[in-house]
Amino acid sequence: MKSNIAGRIAQIVPTMLLVSVLVFCLQQLMPGDPALVLAGEERGDPRVLAQIRAELWLDQPLIAQYFHWIGRVLHGDLGFSWHIRQPVVALVMQKLPVTLQLGGMAFVIAVLIGVPTGIVAAVYRNRFWDYVANAVGLAGLSTPNFWLGIMMILLFSVNLGWLPPSGFVPLSEDWHQSLATTIMPAFVLGNAIAAVLMRHTRSAMLSALDQDYIRTARAKGLSNWHVLTRHALRNALMPVVTLGALELGALLSGAVLTEQVFSIPGFGKMTVDAVFNRDFPVVQGVVLVTAFLFVMLNLAADLLYVVINPRLRRS
Amino acid sequence: MSARHPAILVARRFLRRPIAVMGLAVILLFVLGAIFAPLVAPYDPIATSWSAIRKAPSMAHWMGTDENGRDVFSRVIYGARASMLAGVISVLIAGGIGVPVGVLAGFAGGWTDALLSRLTDAILACPFLILAIALAAFLGPNLTNAMIAIGVSTAPRFMRVARAATLEVAALDFIDAARTVGTTPFKVAVRHILPNIVPPVLVQGTLAIAAAIIAEASLSFLGLGQQPPDPSWGSMLNAAHRFLSQAPWLAIFPGLAIFLCVLSFNLVGDGLRDALDPRGQ
């Protein structure tokens, strides 16, 4: 098993290497000369331009530029923001905790809604509650999360006045205010993932309930509750863990829109601001960091899968 | 075509699902609205009117007017053009890249497969919308670039589906038979494999249109898609966000249009999947 885990970890290297090539290539899509953007007022001065090009290795062949860039990335240097004039790593470190709090809450909400509704749908297969759960799930999948956010602000902030429409208070400052500012965005962000989790849980539970050992458990006279929770659910949750981890990428994507709607100063808002300020080092840094996070979270899910599945542990 | 032709059998099974048929009807309605927008829309979608700024829905303006006095109903109808076009074209781009690459990977195997699969993993590792935003940002914000960005970001999904389906088909006896009689690998791939992987690709395509419509609305909402004054559902919501307390109708109708359209594509996709694979029920 140890060699399996080592093999799985080794797989990350080529994937991340290719991601880095893709992110580097993004820069080549950009119209115009970055040195002109950076030079600002002094763009007419050929000496300034030459100096900037030399500093950024822009006067070197592409392959040399790539190795220079990846060398710095591996040393934890993602470059320098053109607009805010700060290292990209510092910006990411500053904004990421906000998004992680939001994403963490969203994932908890998604699991609390998605898994129980999936179980109910499977138990009442092809009956009323199954249809209700499926319809709600499909509606959740079809609702763009930024629109859901706007509608929730309309209802809970504008009409009812219960929650603030925007802003963010960190947990460490005032947990009560923090929850008040994040509950709506977290629900919006969790909504689509809840729908996906519900579908996965339903189909995993259906195939678990079809197994012979469930019939045996029922034949032994175990209560319905016991059969569901101890026998079916424990087996059904395993695929849900892996598939759920794949949704964490959707969480990062969704955060961009949710933070924009609720004016939350997180990672997503930083990305959008960087795009509009044509702050390309930040955009590149964001893609690289999110891809890395996603790959690591998937690895964590695969390892967790081994931990909770005794059959894999023994082999 | 005879009545026993597979396509007719699938169509019959699809038509027996009232909810999927309803989805198809709604899509047709949107498509017709988009094509005949100049005939259907009561007003010019970009004509401003200073005497009708932010008027609530009424008989004259069914969905009210926006911050420049433009008719929201007409803008929603014209907005269907941007959404439908973006949905279909970006999926064609995604399929056009993903399917040939997937067939090649599945059919060639070995190093080609390993390399293409790792490349797909790498693109899939970048969260979909973040990749699309980055591409749209580097290419420049407009509807065409948004479609390219969405298409390229979606391509890996088609590659995966096409590769898996190719592996399944390539293992069947008739492929061996075709190879034995000397058919070239290219001809085997195009004549024998491609037609047999259509069902899963079709299902993936329908569901991908739903996702692409949401993605285009998202990019336009962020200001990276359709540019003003041309209407798109996403950019209308962007403007509506600023006038939420004074003019809530601005936010309600474009969002409902996206929801209905995406829901319909999802219903048709689910219906198609069930109709193509009766065993899965």
Distance from CA of B13 to the nearest CA of A (A): 19
Q: ipTM strictly over 0.85?
A: yes
On the 0-12 / 13-18 / 19+ scale of CB atoms within 10 A, B230 is: middle
- pLDDT for the residue numbered A192: 82
- Report in angstroms the alpha-carbon separations of A233 from A99, A190, A214, A220, A298: 31, 22, 11, 18, 22
Q: Look at residue A313 in the predicted model and tell me its pLDDT.
A: 65
* pLDDT beneath 50, residues of chain A: none
How many Cα neighbours within 13 Å face the side chain of B227? 7
Domain with CATH 1.10.3720.10 in chain A: 91-314
pLDDT score recorded for residue B3: 66
Of residues B130, B241, B244, nearest to A287 (C-beta): B130
Q: What confidence score (pLDDT) does residue A312 get? A: 66
Across the interface, of B123, B130, B251, the residue whose CB is closest to A253 is B130
Contact A154 B248 (CB under 8 A): yes
**φ and ψ at residue A143, rounded to 5 degrees:** -90, 120
The angle, 0 to 180 degrees and rounded to 10, between the axes of the packed helices B128-139 and A267-276 is: 20
Which of B83, B142, B214 is the mutation pick for testing A, counting most A CBs within 10 A?
A: B214
* A31 neighbourhood in chain B, CB within 8 Å: 140
Within 8 A of A203 by CB-CB distance, chain B residues are none
Structure tokens that stand for B3 in this block:
């009545």
- Choosing among 3.30.70.980, 3.55.40.20, 3.30.160.160, 1.10.3720.10, the CATH entry for A91-314 is 1.10.3720.10
Query: A175 vs chain B: nearest CA distance in angstroms?
Result: 27
Query: What pTM value is reported for the model?
Result: 0.88
Number of Cβ pairs < 8 A linking chain A and chain B: 134
Contact criterion met (CB below 8 Å) for B70 and B152? no
pLDDT of residue B278: 61
Segment A57-115, tens digit of pLDDT: 777 888 888 888 888 888 888 888 888 888 888 988 888 889 988 998 999 999 999 99
Residue pointed to by tokens 């510092």: A90
Is residue A250 less than 8 Å (CB to CB) from chain B?
yes
**Cβ–Cβ < 8 Å for A165, B238:** no
> How many degrees, rounded to 5, is the angle at CA B249 between CA B246 and CA B252?
130
Task: List A residues 165-194 in contact with B (Cβ-Cβ < 8 A).
Answer: 165
Nearby residues of B185 by Cβ (< 8 Å), 6 or more positions away: B107, B179
Q: Which residues pair with B71 in a beta bridge?
A: B65
**The token pair that represents A120 in the structure block:** 């109910």
**A87 DSSP β-pair partners:** A80
Alpha carbon distances (Å) from B231 to A260, B227, B241: 20, 8, 15
The greatest distance separating any two alpha carbons of chain A, rounded to the nearest whole angstrom, comes to: 87
pLDDT tens-place values along chain B, 281 residues long: 566 787 888 888 888 888 999 999 999 999 999 999 899 888 888 878 787 778 888 877 788 888 887 888 889 999 999 999 999 999 999 999 999 999 999 988 889 998 898 889 888 888 888 888 888 888 888 899 999 999 999 999 999 999 999 998 888 888 888 888 888 888 888 888 888 898 889 888 998 999 999 999 999 999 888 888 888 999 899 888 888 888 888 889 999 999 999 999 999 998 898 888 765 54
